[in-house]
């Protein structure tokens, strides 16, 4: 039994759209992961620089257009907290990336399978 040409064409278009969408989302997700990894490196560098300072050094944090004196341990806690949040975000994005890659792969395989079978079901 063969699938009608119109139904086959519609099915192929839907699969192709899904594959293209997945590919675009993969690119976006990879860019987000790269950005968050860069942010983590910046936080680690800042933390390393702060930890190399003497303990009695006055440290200031930007708040809008002004700077406010903040204890070093408060800044260190904030940096490690932000780093932890970014790492959990990356974990979530990696799961999303895996899902999108599987979706893209499955779409391509389905498309190839339909083309190889010549539209017969």
What residue segments make up the domains of the chain, in order of their start? 5-119
Give the DSSP H/E element, type plus range, for residue 30.
helix 5-51
Cα-only R_g, the chain = 25
Question: How are beta strands 59-63 and 66-70 bridged, if at all?
Answer: antiparallel
* Model-wide pTM > 0.75: yes
For 45-61, write each residue's pLDDT tens digit. Answer: 999 999 999 988 899 99
For 74-84, write each residue's pLDDT tens digit. Answer: 999 999 999 99
Architecture of the structural domain at 5-119: Orthogonal Bundle (1.10)
**Long-range CB contacts for residues 91-99, cutoff 8 Å, separation at least 24:** 93/29, 93/32, 93/33, 93/36, 94/33, 96/29, 97/26, 97/29, 97/30, 97/33
Question: What pLDDT shows up at residue 3?
Answer: 65
């Amino acid at each position: 039994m063969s699938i009608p040409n119109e139904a086959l064409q519609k099915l192929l278009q839907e699969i192709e759209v899904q594959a293209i969408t997945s590919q675009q989302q993969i690119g976006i997700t990879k860019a987000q992961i790269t950005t968050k990894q860069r942010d983590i490196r910046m936080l680690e560098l800042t933390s390393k620089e702060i930890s190399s300072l003497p303990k009695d050094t006055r440290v200031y944090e930007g708040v809008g257009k002004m700077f406010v004196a903040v204890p070093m341990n408060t800044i260190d806690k904030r940096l490690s907290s932000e780093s932890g949040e970014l790492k959990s975000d990356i974990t979530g994005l990696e799961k999303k990336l895996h899902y999108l890659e599987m979706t893209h792969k499955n779409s391509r395989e389905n498309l190839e399978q339909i083309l190889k079978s010549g539209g017969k079901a």
